Amino acid sequence: MDRSHFLHPRAGALRGGLRGATVIDALDTLYIMELEDEFQEAKSWVENSFNVNVNGEASLFEVNIRYVGGLLSAYYLTGHEIFRTKAIELGEKLLPAFNTPTGIPRGVINLGSGMSWSWGWASAGSSILAEFGSLHLEFVHLTELSGNPLFAEKVKTIRQVLNRIEKPHGLYPNFLSPATGSWVQHHVSIGGLGDSFYEYLIKSWLASDKTDTEAKKMYDDALEAIETHLVKKSAGGLTYIAEWRGGILDHKMGHLACFSGGMIALGAEGAAGPKKQHYVELAAEITRTCRESYARSDTKLGPEAFRFDSGSEATATRLSERYYILRPEVVESYMYMWRVTHDPKYRQWGWEVVLALEKYCRVGAGFSGIRDVYTTTPTHDNMQQSFFLAETLKYLYLLFSEDHLLSLEDWVFNTEAHPLPVNHTNFRVQASTAH
């Protein structure tokens, strides 16, 4: 039986009864690719069927980056009022999660009742750095578009808590108590649990037209600590970013951490003197390592995590880490490296990914993740993650587009690849005159 007809569109974590994550995540991709009929169909669904008055457990982080980010981006690209209205309505539903002693939000919220709590798996009721640290871009825009100062105030409070607290060796652990405002355990990762916090620091500076100097200083200091303590070079000459567990290094890099090449390249323009070239080179080395994780697999797609221990380099050594779920981080870095350096190898590497996706992930109803990148007859997981349309395909498209399409001078991408305009003086006009 052909199971490809049973492909499930998937938005990952809890959505709290919200429907249409794939539709909203794909809105800006459809628009940018000039798929006008599909875009109109998606817009019509948002107008007629997207209901934010739902009751259920939702991830604050996922709803923010996928739904709020997707709606904001669709509004800024098209000027259609429905997207602004829905983004603000949904943003208001998230505000009760911030009602904690410190103002650090809890990770899970019931969109109907406003009750919030921490993830059951998170240490001692803690909140996750990547989650509460990846709200800033969207919430500043929500204040801008609604006139309600609460959104921006909430994320400024988070920033204040993080500035006040002591950082071990300048590093930011992944778990923070929303009750006490202190770190819960000393696990540091540029991959899952930590990743987009760092991304939002440099992007907040860029999005503010380089006026948010507090974000820039936090980014610079964090990157310096990461380079001092976590960046390593393997025996085979591959640069990678290890994880840190209470002072002990774990020599693995997750696929999620592969966004960091792009981030460091993007941030390099703000570095002084010789540091600028140094960061472009570091970004290129990390991106090359992530490409090796693809090149060393049988499918030419990368595993969920790869290790640098027991003689292996840039390969998954555990069965549980051999899968690929259509993740975007490696092609994201290719896109940024291309825009910054225009070295043709990044387009060549991107095309290798396109061919591998076509060969191993395309199924009758779309694209599916695979369970093992080290076999040329992989089993499909029958899920098409919403970020595949929002991020993977968008970054690949931009990699082969002219630089003026969503120019990095004028747009900053949220961590779900939804473009938000840089706060140039004329950006309000841009939204109001868009068609």
Question: pLDDT tens for residues 333-351?
Answer: 999 999 999 999 999 999 9
Q: What is residue 305's predicted lDDT score, i.e. its pLDDT?
A: 98
The fold of 206-403 is: Glycosyltransferase (1.50.10)
Domains 11-185 and 206-403 share a fold: yes
Is 415 annotated as belonging to a binding site?
Answer: yes
Residue 329 bears catalytic tag: yes
Residue 304 bears catalytic tag: yes
Which segments of the chain have a pLDDT < 50? Answer: 1-5, 12-13, 428-435
Q: What residues does each domain of the chain span?
A: 11-185, 206-403
Catalytic residue among 28, 292, 329, 381: 329
Contacts of 357 (CB under 8 A, 6+ apart): 301, 326, 367, 392
Residue 34 bears catalytic tag: no
> DSSP labels for 319-366?
GGG--B----HHHHHHHHHHHHH--THHHHHHHHHHHHIIIIIEETTE
Residue type, 45: W
Q: What is residue 300's predicted lDDT score, i.e. its pLDDT?
A: 98
Catalytic residue among 304, 332, 372, 416: 304
- Between helix 69-78 and helix 21-32 the angle, nearest 10°, is 30
CATH architecture of 11-185: Alpha/alpha barrel (1.50)
Q: What is residue 2's predicted lDDT score, i.e. its pLDDT?
A: 44
Q: What is residue 15's predicted lDDT score, i.e. its pLDDT?
A: 73
pTM score, two decimals? 0.95
Q: What is residue 4's predicted lDDT score, i.e. its pLDDT?
A: 43
Catalytic residue among 195, 212, 313, 372: 195
- Which helix (H) or strand (E) element contains residue 57? strand 57-59
> How large is the C-alpha radius of gyration of the chain?
20
